Amino acid sequence: MGRYVIRRLLQMIPVFFGATLLIFLMVNVMGDPVQGLCGQRACDPATAAQLRKEFGLDKPVWQQYLTYMGNVFTGDFGTAFNGQPVIELMADAFPVTIRLTLVAIFFEIVIGITLGVITGLRRGRPVDTSVLLLTLVVISVPTFVTGLLLQLLLGVEWGIIKPAVSPAAPLDELIVPGLVLASVSLAYVTRLTRTSIAENARSDYVRTAKAKGLPRRRVITRHLLRNSLIPVVTFIGTDIGALMGGAIVTERIFNIHGVGYQLYQGILRQSTQTVVGFVTVLVLVFLLANLLVDLLYAVLDPRIRYA
């Protein structure tokens, strides 16, 4: 197990460098960011040159990348164009997005798996059909439609929630945005669980458990569910990264000042430092979440062993 983890961690190193290099190059291709700093007019050449020097943009790209990476390893993620250290932006943004992601994951697990188990055990019944139909609707409607609709109905028409989340983004204000963010994945989780449950419900070990006279509840939770959750866990694990990075739309709609907001602003302002810094952290989150998923397999399925 320990060696497996170490091997996986070592594998992350090339992925990490590759991903950051790619992002670095992509942001660079967009052109000279300094031009956007002086509004509608051209920056005077001297100030522009000075700014380029300050942000290291006067050097060749490979050198910029090396300097940047060197700094990253000392914990310095550079400075955004508004003079704020990127590390400070991260300290502001990540807690908010993590909170939002947790709310979303919570909904995915609680609602998604519950619905999945119910429909999986009652295949073909009305409840199954209606939930299936509902998930189809959720999957086919884009997030920004759900988001804007809920915002307008709950926020403006009925006045139940505030349409915009306050800068501190406390948990209670994140319930609706979290639900919106989770909606599509939630539908997938439901369907995944349903299929998995339905399949395993006919397997030998479930029949044996039933034949042993175990109570139905125990059969479902201990035997059926545990084995059926493997694909679902994989999905949720990879979804953590996707939710954190993909929250741009939801964060925009509800004015949440999280990772999506910083990334969006960074891209618009072509702030290499901001974009690369945030994406690097997201890549790390993605990799770690994947590792965690793989380790969870062993917990869920004793047959799987890592050496």
CA 205 to chain centre: 35
User: Which residue among 46, 74, 124, 303 contacts other proteins (CB under 8 A)?
Assistant: 46
- Asked if 142 interacts with other proteins (CB under 8 A), we say no
DSSP H helical segments within the chain, as ranges? 2-29, 45-54, 61-73, 86-107, 114-121, 126-140, 143-150, 175-200, 204-211, 216-218, 226-245, 248-253, 259-268, 272-300
Tokens 């545990």 found at: 226
- Asked if 77 interacts with other proteins (CB under 8 A), we say no
The residue among 50 and 203 lying less far from other proteins, judged by its C-beta, is 50
- Asked if 247 interacts with other proteins (CB under 8 A), we say no
DSSP conformation letters of 79-105: B-TTS-BHHHHHHHHHHHHHHHHHHHH
- Asked if 128 interacts with other proteins (CB under 8 A), we say no
Residue 79: strand pairing partners: 85
Determine contact, residues 241/282, Cβ cutoff 8 Å. Answer: yes
- Asked if 24 interacts with other proteins (CB under 8 A), we say no
- Asked if 38 interacts with other proteins (CB under 8 A), we say yes
- Asked if 44 interacts with other proteins (CB under 8 A), we say yes
- Asked if 114 interacts with other proteins (CB under 8 A), we say no
User: Which residue among 6, 9, 15, 171 contacts other proteins (CB under 8 A)?
Assistant: 171
The residue among 18 and 31 lying less far from other proteins, judged by its C-beta, is 31
Q: Which two tokens stand for residue 15?
A: 């992925």
The rounded distance, in Å, linking the Cα atoms of 300 and 277 is: 35
- Asked if 36 interacts with other proteins (CB under 8 A), we say yes
- Asked if 251 interacts with other proteins (CB under 8 A), we say yes
User: Which residue among 253, 275, 281, 289 contacts other proteins (CB under 8 A)?
Assistant: 253
- Asked if 33 interacts with other proteins (CB under 8 A), we say yes
The rounded distance, in Å, linking the Cα atoms of 53 and 112 is: 52
- Asked if 246 interacts with other proteins (CB under 8 A), we say no
Determine contact, residues 192/231, Cβ cutoff 8 Å. Answer: yes
User: Which residue among 56, 92, 118, 291 contacts other proteins (CB under 8 A)?
Assistant: 92
User: Which residue among 18, 31, 215, 231 contacts other proteins (CB under 8 A)?
Assistant: 31
Q: Which two tokens stand for residue 158?
A: 């009925």
Q: Which two tokens stand for residue 262?
A: 């910083």
Of 278, 286, 285, 292, which is closest to residue 20 (Cα–Cα)? 278
User: Which residue among 30, 66, 136, 149 contacts other proteins (CB under 8 A)?
Assistant: 30
The residue among 14 and 83 lying less far from other proteins, judged by its C-beta, is 83
What's the maximum distance between 2 C-alpha atoms anywhere in the chain?
84
- Asked if 61 interacts with other proteins (CB under 8 A), we say no
- Asked if 153 interacts with other proteins (CB under 8 A), we say no
User: Which residue among 11, 54, 129, 304 contacts other proteins (CB under 8 A)?
Assistant: 54
The residue among 35 and 208 lying less far from other proteins, judged by its C-beta, is 35
CA distances from 255 to 25, 56, 252, 278, 301 (A): 29, 32, 5, 18, 41
- Asked if 268 interacts with other proteins (CB under 8 A), we say yes
- The binding site for other proteins (CB under 8 A) comprises 30-47, 49-51, 54, 81-84, 88-89, 92, 151-152, 155-156, 158-164, 166-167, 170-173, 175, 251-255, 257, 261-262, 264-265, 267-270
